[in-house]
Amino acid sequence: MASLARALGTRTALACFGLACAGVAAGSPAGADVPPVLIPPVEGEMTASFTYTPYEGGRAAVTFACRPGEEVRAPTSGVVAFLGEVAGRPAVSISLSGGWRVTVGQLRSDEVVAGAQVRTGTRLGTCPDVGQVSLSLRRGGAYVDPAPSVRSGRLREALWLGGAADRPGLSPELPPIPGRPP
Which pLDDT tens digits describe the chain residue by residue (182 residues)? 344 333 334 333 333 333 333 333 333 344 568 899 999 999 999 999 999 888 888 889 999 999 999 999 999 999 999 999 987 878 999 999 999 999 999 988 778 999 999 999 999 999 999 999 999 999 988 999 999 999 865 555 545 444 444 433 433 344 444 444 44
Query: How do 123-126 and 71-73 pair as beta strands?
Result: antiparallel
Cα angle value 79/83/85 (rounded, 5°): 150
Which architecture, in CATH terms, is 36-166? Distorted Sandwich (2.70)
Quote the pTM value.
Answer: 0.69
Percent helix, strand, coil in the chain, to 5, is 20, 30, 50
Handedness of CA 83, 51, 65, 166 (dihedral sign): negative
AA letter at 101? R
Name the residue among 178, 159, 161 with its Cα closest to residue 40: 159
CA distance 52 to 47: 16
The region that residue 151 occupies, defined by phi over 0 for left and psi between -120 and 50 for alpha, beta otherwise, is beta
- Where do the domains of the chain lie? 1-34, 36-166
